[in-house]
Structure 1
Amino acid sequence: MAHPDVVVVGAGIVGAACAEALGAAGLRVTVLDRGAPAGGTTAAGEGNVLVSDKEPGPELALARLSRRRWPELLTALRDELGPDLAEVEWEPKGGLVVATTEGAAGPLAAFAEAHRDAGIHADVVAPEVAAELEPHLTRRVTAAVHYPEDAQLQPVLAATTLLAAVRARGGEVRSGVRAIGVRRGAAGTVAGVRTSEGPISCAAVVNACGPWAGEFAARAGAPIAVLPRRGMVLVTAPLPHTVAHKVYDADYVGAVASGDADLQTSAVVESTRAGTVLIGSSRQRVGFDETVRVDVLRELARKAVALFPVLAGVTVMRAYGGFRPYAPDHLPVIGEDPRLPGLWHATGHEGAGIGLAAGTGRLLADLHTGGEPELDPHPFRVDRPAVVEEVPECG
């Protein structure tokens, strides 16, 4: 088999999206993952494709590109692969953001106005209209904003669909293979990747290792400041027709934007196609500590019941947690590393990787092939101070 043009390290949703976009551009792609494809951060995601939680700026621009790109991409993959391989449970259900105190109503309305100025559909609705949209919602709502562009998909299905397209185009997906570094050529550029199964020659390597991207970058000799930030999710027993939208309290936006290492929780409630209800969200920087914190789960449950009192009597089937790739300035890292030509990064999306993946893949492929990007790549560059000057001493 011919050597690949590009090796993508990481078979989560972001790595899969990059591999699919590079393959669509005509490149030979091999995807490596030390575990099972979509078995890490992606498997611990809720599947959100959101514009509602992002402040106007570069990340919102990337979110809008992804929101446009996802349905187009899924339609094309359904035509290419067939409906069975391309079923990802895409649901353009919309989002509802609510304030439950008088003090939160004003900031929520101001945030919606900023979104409208940026071209986002953000419709302020009266509390009684919010009650019509979500009949089981608490009546303590003081203000609400409906975001019809918010959507949801099943993240593992989405990643495996993208990887199926990579295989269908002649690429390779290898699980259980650990990437342990890169090999440099005589000119000092990337000439291959070193793995637990031996070297693979290639002209470019994409670091899509999610929370482990900082570790891989350090082994490649080009460290970046990407850290793990843990989140927990509760899953209830099936409760069909109870929650129609993605619904969250207005304080969720502040938790997303915060860099605080301490525990932060906010009420985020949505249903799946199977009828189960997903309850989040928590954020905490605890390294790679996988300890299940009962106090975190209690706090999630308490806030969810405050938003949807009907949940008080519902059984929780399970809880799961995952590590999300966090960059200190809250922006993804997308592009070629100027310190090591041929090394590319696609990481740092934190809890928004599912929604931002389609746009990230397109942006990286455009940059790699010299195409005209659909948005300004400069804010996501690797050599910005927050990424290269705030690298932890431990690497």
Structure 2
Amino acid sequence: MRAADVIVVGAGMMGAACAHLNWPTPACRCACSMRRRGGATRAGMGHLVVMDDNAAELALSQASLDQWHAWGPRMNADLPGCAYANCGTLWIAANAEEMAGAEAKAAGLRAHGIACELLDAPSLAKLEPALRPGLHGALKVGGDSVVYAPNAAQWLLAHAARPIAVEHAQVARIDGRRVHLSDGSVREGGAVLLAAGIHATDLCPGLPIRPKKGHLAITDRYPGTVRHQLVELGYITNAHQSDGTSVAFNLQPRPTGQLLIGSSRQFDTTDPAIDNAVLARMLRRALDYVPGLAELNAIRTWTGFRAATPDGLPIIGHHPHHSDLWLAVGHEGLGVTTAPATAQLLAAQITGAVLPLDPAPYSPDRFAGSLIA
């Protein structure tokens, strides 16, 4: 392989989005090396969701959803297995306190031009009759969508504006502009962009990334059981716990008619085995919201790992101690959602183009003390 303008290490959704971009230089090529198969892209739900826990998260997810809405129909036309669908999200309020939270969330989203709708209990029951009676209502965010992430990443690599040289290889180490593969060969580029999820710490010591293990279950085909992504409003609190194990109700209707059930979070384990106790807690939580799930057949369960940072924001930008290394890591459960805006921000930083977002909240400089020079 001749030298590439950018070598992207990691061919999951984040790496694929970074490689896909129409880079603002005249003759840009990207080499994409996947360190290992079966990362977060393959394990996750593929929920494309605007998240608003803080301004930086909202900016990154909102900009990304705009790009997903443009990509989605094209993906389905070229590769139907991408299964992009604009199902929307219902943030479920179980009680009056959570309904007040839904109202506050609606006000914040509307202030940023994001269309949403508050639903009272009768409206929610009419829209999703499988939900248990007694819920207070919900916030509907119509622009949220779903995608089958492994196929979407494949589409991004195959439909870039300029050719991408893709290699399925294991990266042993990064040395300046050089990427050393496990077979002893070397690839060299103008810059190296690390987008390898939880495995990034093996190649860039000092990255403050912890694995968050999650469980998922999927049912047989039951078309029409639910029509929207259903998420309890308590999910946000559970998602950002920094210790312990938590579960939250998160149910996704797949275009296949299957139902994808989440979610759970466990810290500081890289054991991929199913934890039956955690899985049982997660399923009981789902049954509390959709009791009819007890009558359906689950056909598969699995686990995956999110890459979490101490402050809950991704690390995007130039490594503070290595002039040729750029980072796109630590997106936790929002890697699929925020891949487009992350890629756009990095492309602008690397090439000196106009920045689409303020890079400061995601800068690696905030962890410069822990990153090894």
- Alpha-carbon distance, 1:233 to partner: 0.6
The answer as to 2:27 corresponding to 1:10 is no
Tell me if the contact between 1:229 and 1:326 (Cα under 8 Å) persists in the aligned partners: yes
Q: Relative to structure 1, is the Cα distance of residues 228 and 313 closer, same or farther in structure 2, using a 3 angstrom cutoff?
A: same
The answer as to 2:24 corresponding to 1:20 is no
Tell me if the contact between 2:102 and 2:118 (Cα under 8 Å) persists in the aligned partners: no
Give the Cα separation in 1 of the matches to 2:325 and 2:148.
Answer: 30
Partner of 2:353: 371
Partner of 1:173: 166
Tell me if the contact between 1:54 and 1:253 (Cα under 8 Å) persists in the aligned partners: no
Tell me if the contact between 1:245 and 1:271 (Cα under 8 Å) persists in the aligned partners: yes
User: SS where residue 65 of structure 1 aligns?
Assistant: helix
Give the Cα separation in 2 of the matches to 1:86 and 1:346.
Answer: 28
Give 2:53's aligned amino acid: E
Which residue of the other structure, out of 253, 272, 286, is the alignment partner of 1:271?
Answer: 253
- Alpha-carbon distance, 1:336 to partner: 1.1
Give the Cα separation in 1 of the matches to 2:29 and 2:40.
Answer: 25
Give the Cα separation in 2 of the matches to 1:23 and 1:75.
Answer: 22
Partner of 2:235: 252
Matches within 5 A, 1:22-101: 26-36=27-37, 39-51=38-50, 53-74=51-72, 83-85=77-79, 88-101=82-95
Give 2:36's aligned amino acid: G
Q: Relative to structure 1, is the Cα distance of residues 74 and 23 closer, same or farther in structure 2, using a 3 angstrom cutoff?
A: farther
Give the Cα separation in 1 of the matches to 2:93 and 2:221.
Answer: 27
Give 1:71's aligned amino acid: H
User: SS where residue 292 of structure 1 aligns?
Assistant: coil
Give the Cα separation in 1 of the matches to 2:102 and 2:177.
Answer: 50
User: SS where residue 289 of structure 1 aligns?
Assistant: coil
Give 1:40's aligned amino acid: G
Q: Relative to structure 1, is the Cα distance of residues 313 and 85 closer, same or farther in structure 2, using a 3 angstrom cutoff?
A: closer
The alignment of Structure 1 onto Structure 2 pairs a total of residues equal to 371
Give 1:34's aligned amino acid: R
Partner of 1:187: none
Give 1:48's aligned amino acid: H
- Alpha-carbon distance, 1:75 to partner: 5.4
- Alpha-carbon distance, 1:364 to partner: 1.1
Unaligned runs of 5+ in 1: 184-189
The answer as to 2:280 corresponding to 1:288 is no
Give the Cα separation in 2 of the matches to 1:77 and 1:233.
Answer: 25
Give 1:195's aligned amino acid: L
Tell me if the contact between 1:136 and 1:242 (Cα under 8 Å) persists in the aligned partners: yes
Report Cα offsets for 1:343-393 as digits up to 9, x if no partner.
000011101111111111111111111111221111111111xx34467x9
The answer as to 2:187 corresponding to 1:194 is no
Tell me if the contact between 2:9 and 2:196 (Cα under 8 Å) persists in the aligned partners: yes
Partner of 2:220: 237
Tell me if the contact between 1:86 and 1:161 (Cα under 8 Å) persists in the aligned partners: no
Give the Cα separation in 2 of the matches to 1:134 and 1:325.
Answer: 33
- Alpha-carbon distance, 1:108 to partner: 2.7
The 10-residue stretch of structure 1 (228-237 or 24-33) with the greater mean CA deviation from structure 2: 24-33
Tell me if the contact between 1:125 and 1:146 (Cα under 8 Å) persists in the aligned partners: yes
Partner of 2:102: 108
Partner of 2:152: 158
Partner of 1:226: 209
- Alpha-carbon distance, 1:103 to partner: 3.2
Structure 2 length normalisation: TM-score?
0.94
Tell me if the contact between 2:86 and 2:146 (Cα under 8 Å) persists in the aligned partners: yes
- Alpha-carbon distance, 1:125 to partner: 1.2
Give 1:9's aligned amino acid: V
Partner of 1:186: none
Tell me if the contact between 1:66 and 1:358 (Cα under 8 Å) persists in the aligned partners: yes
Partner of 1:327: 309
Give the Cα separation in 2 of the matches to 1:24 and 1:138.
Answer: 51
Partner of 1:212: 199
Tell me if the contact between 2:177 and 2:325 (Cα under 8 Å) persists in the aligned partners: no
Give 2:33's aligned amino acid: L
Give the Cα separation in 2 of the matches to 1:99 and 1:76.
Answer: 35
Tell me if the contact between 1:87 and 1:161 (Cα under 8 Å) persists in the aligned partners: no
- Alpha-carbon distance, 1:23 to partner: 5.3
- Alpha-carbon distance, 1:249 to partner: 0.8
Tell me if the contact between 1:74 and 1:86 (Cα under 8 Å) persists in the aligned partners: no
Q: Relative to structure 1, is the Cα distance of residues 138 and 75 closer, same or farther in structure 2, using a 3 angstrom cutoff?
A: closer
Give the Cα separation in 1 of the matches to 2:69 and 2:287.
Answer: 33
Give the Cα separation in 2 of the matches to 1:314 and 1:321.
Answer: 21
Q: Relative to structure 1, is the Cα distance of residues 86 and 16 closer, same or farther in structure 2, using a 3 angstrom cutoff?
A: farther
Q: Relative to structure 1, is the Cα distance of residues 367 and 75 closer, same or farther in structure 2, using a 3 angstrom cutoff?
A: farther
RMSD: 2.1
The answer as to 2:118 corresponding to 1:119 is no
Report Cα offsets for 1:204-261 as digits up to 9, x if no partner.
111101011222111xxxx3211211111111111110110001111001122222x2
Unaligned runs of 5+ in 2: none
